[in-house]
Structure formats: structure tokens, C-alpha cells
Amino acid sequence: MTYDGFIAGLGNPGPRYSRTRHNFGFMLVDRLIALWADQPDAVISSRSGSGKADVWDVCFHADQTRWLVAKPLDFMNRSGPPIQLLCRRNGIPAEKILVLHDELDLPLGQMRFKFSGGLAGHNGLKSLVESLGTKDFARLRLGIGRPEHPVAMADYVLSPFMASEIPVLDKTLARAAEATQTYCRYGLAEAMQQLHSHG
């Protein structure tokens, strides 16, 4: 059975980075796996990522679809090769990938689907484009906003969310998980319409 698509969350491996802004994509993958584990029609199994990624196989019985879900285990700026390897091994074209990533140009609490286009200086996306040889894949851009005070951008994205931001973060992860599920069930256009009509 072939895969209907591939969901890849971007982030940095290890506990040091687990709650940082740059790991929004990883957080969403974790939320999705937990969500689907509670759904009777979803069957989840861990797969070997050859030490290069955490990988899950997710089958939805209701609509007979199968998805590959992964978190690369290399650092953000080297996200591309593990994702490209999984695509090659599983016969998944770039246009069937949905990349979940943090986005400086959207405030925390906002998210947007996008297909192809610019990379907005995101090193994980740059690595992915270099490895895949194309920008033509879907993204779910998860807003983290820009710092209120002057700070090196690398320090900002590698800093944890503040305690005051956690309630918004949790609500955003719930909405993003729902939006990603809509993407899996009904496609990008429907997911975009549903998400963007709700701000």
C-alpha cells in the first residue's frame, strides 16, 4: 500500500530544544500522534527511521488513507536529507509533503497554509528545498511572532515560549492539529478554506 502523503515536522532534537519556538513543528507532530492515538479509526505504528528520524505510519480506516509522519533527528539546518531519504524510500513526491514549521512573520496564535513560494529565511525550509530540488510542497506556517525587544534572531527562535504564552500555544496546537487532520482527510484547498475562514 502506498502513502497518500507525508507530514514532516521541523525542529531540533533533544530535550534542550523541546519547548523552544523553533520546535513548533515537532510539538505539532507530537500533538497529532496523541490525537490520532485516541481515534478508533486510526491505526498508528512506529517505523524505523534508521536513526535519522522518528517515524510513524498512520492508517485511517474510514477513508482508507495512509500517511507517513516524521520528525528529522538532525538539526534544523540539516532537516532536508532525512526527509528526502524518507521520500525516496517510500516513493513520495514532494508535492505530497506537508511541512509543519515555525513562522516569524505571523504572531503567535495565527497559522497559515501555503504551497510553494519563498522561504522567509527559514533554515529548515532552505535545507529541504536543497535536498528535494523544489519548493513545490505544502507548508503549515505556525506563527511565533518577532521579539518585542532587540535580540539576535537565533537566540529568539531557540528560546522557550514564555509562561504567559503557553495558553495561546496550547490553543494553537489544538487548532493546528484539527487543520492538519482536515488536510489529511479533504486536501489542501479545504484545509485552507476552513483554517483561513476562522482567522
Distance CA(189)–CA(59), nearest Å, equals 22
Position 195, amino acid? L
Helix, strand or coil, per DSSP, at residue 4: coil
Question: Are the C-beta atoms of residues 121 and 103 closer than 8 Å to each other?
Answer: no
Q: Which three cell numbers stand for residue 35?
A: 490525537
Residue with cell 538532525: 74
Residue with cell 485552507: 192
Distance CA(23)–CA(45), nearest Å, equals 23
**Among 22, 101, 196, 198, the one annotated catalytic:** 22
161 burial (CB, 10 Å; 0-12 / 13-18 / 19+) is: middle
Note if 22 is an active site residue: yes
Distance spanning both ends of the chain, measured CA to CA:
36
User: For residue 162, what is the DSSP state?
Assistant: P
Rounded to an integer, what is the distance from CA 121 to the centroid of its chain?
A: 17
Distance CA(86)–CA(105), nearest Å, equals 29
For the annotated catalytic residues, the residue numbers are 22
